[in-house]
């Protein structure tokens, strides 16, 4: 791998539907110049682990895994059955991530994505989530992987939106195998100073994703990549830097993530340029 940090791309960059075959797109990560690919272990769409591992080996790619929770498998839910379903999903996903050789399981692991409870007091939701994640973390720790919590912007979660808030949540979880996942798209909305926020995360930073502030490829837009890299260096972060966007407004993955215009000009060309840009400016 080149540079100090491996460079990856989220597989859904090329995909139309969440249910599409992720394995069928793995080759594109190699063709566009990445060290590895981020794949998703979704609640409703099981990933064929053995076939994916074989395809990764064939293309000499490493992998990092993410997941998400649904309304029926939500570790913050007041319903014990829903909470238990979320815990068991995260444990199964942790086992799959370890089997694939991923160092972590990231994503929205602490509540359902876009699951905004009607309650004004969110403390019980956070406390239930933290207790559930402490249980999952013991499984992840036994498998030798980290469980990462992706910090989203205010329009996608109300559990926490900044590094400062997420660090307070980690205190509730109280397990060293649970870390933070930062994404420059979300940070651009919520953080006053991206470099300072990364330094605040410090050794609790477990995974890093990047895109421009408007969720285009990182070579576009106006983010201060030098300050972001300085933050990563100061935090002594040596993990993955993954390019993530869902660029096509005409398909499910783009519409679900609010892409109402095309965010890339030529998907493969933009991905190839993004890989080179990340290596120069972040890795």
Altogether, the residues listed in the chain come to a count of 283
Quote the DSSP letter at residue 70: B
Residue 190: CB atoms within 10 A of its CB come to 17
Catalytic residues: 150, 244
Coil, helix or strand for 167? Answer: helix
179, β-bridge pairs: 148
Quote the DSSP letter at residue 35: S
Nearest alpha-carbon partner for 208 in 106, 56, 69: 106
- Contacts of 186 by beta carbon, 8 Å cutoff, 6+ apart: 150, 151, 152, 153, 156, 161
d(CA 83, CA 159): 16
d(CA 29, CA 9): 7
């Amino acid at each position: 791998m080149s540079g100090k940090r491996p460079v990856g791309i989220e597989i859904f960059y090329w995909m139309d539907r969440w249910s599409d075959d992720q394995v069928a797109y793995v080759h594109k990560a190699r063709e566009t110049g990445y060290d590895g690919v981020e794949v998703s272990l979704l609640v409703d769409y099981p990933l064929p682990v053995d076939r994916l591992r074989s395809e990764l080996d064939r293309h000499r790619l490493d992998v990092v895994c993410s997941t998400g929770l649904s309304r029926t498998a939500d570790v913050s839910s007041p319903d014990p059955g829903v909470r238990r379903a979320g815990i068991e999903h995260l444990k199964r996903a942790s086992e799959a991530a370890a089997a694939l050789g991923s160092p972590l399981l990231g994503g929205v692991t602490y509540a359902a994505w876009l699951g905004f409870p009607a309650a004004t007091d969110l403390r019980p939701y956070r406390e239930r989530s933290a207790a559930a994640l402490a249980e999952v973390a013991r499984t992840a720790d036994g498998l030798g992987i980290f469980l990462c919590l992706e910090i989203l912007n205010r329009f996608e979660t109300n559990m926490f939106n900044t590094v400062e808030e997420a660090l307070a949540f980690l205190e509730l979880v109280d397990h060293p195998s649970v870390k933070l996942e930062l994404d420059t798209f979300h940070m651009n909305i919520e953080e006053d100073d991206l470099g300072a926020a990364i330094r605040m995360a410090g050794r609790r930073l477990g995974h890093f994703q990047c895109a421009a502030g408007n969720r285009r490829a990182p070579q576009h837009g106006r983010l201060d990549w030098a300050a972001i890299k300085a933050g990563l260096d100061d935090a002594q972060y040596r993990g993955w830097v993954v390019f993530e966007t869902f660029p096509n407004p005409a398909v499910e993955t783009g519409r679900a993530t609010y892409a109402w215009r095309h965010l890339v000009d030529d998907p493969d060309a933009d991905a190839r340029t993004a890989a080179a840009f990340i290596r120069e400016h972040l890795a």
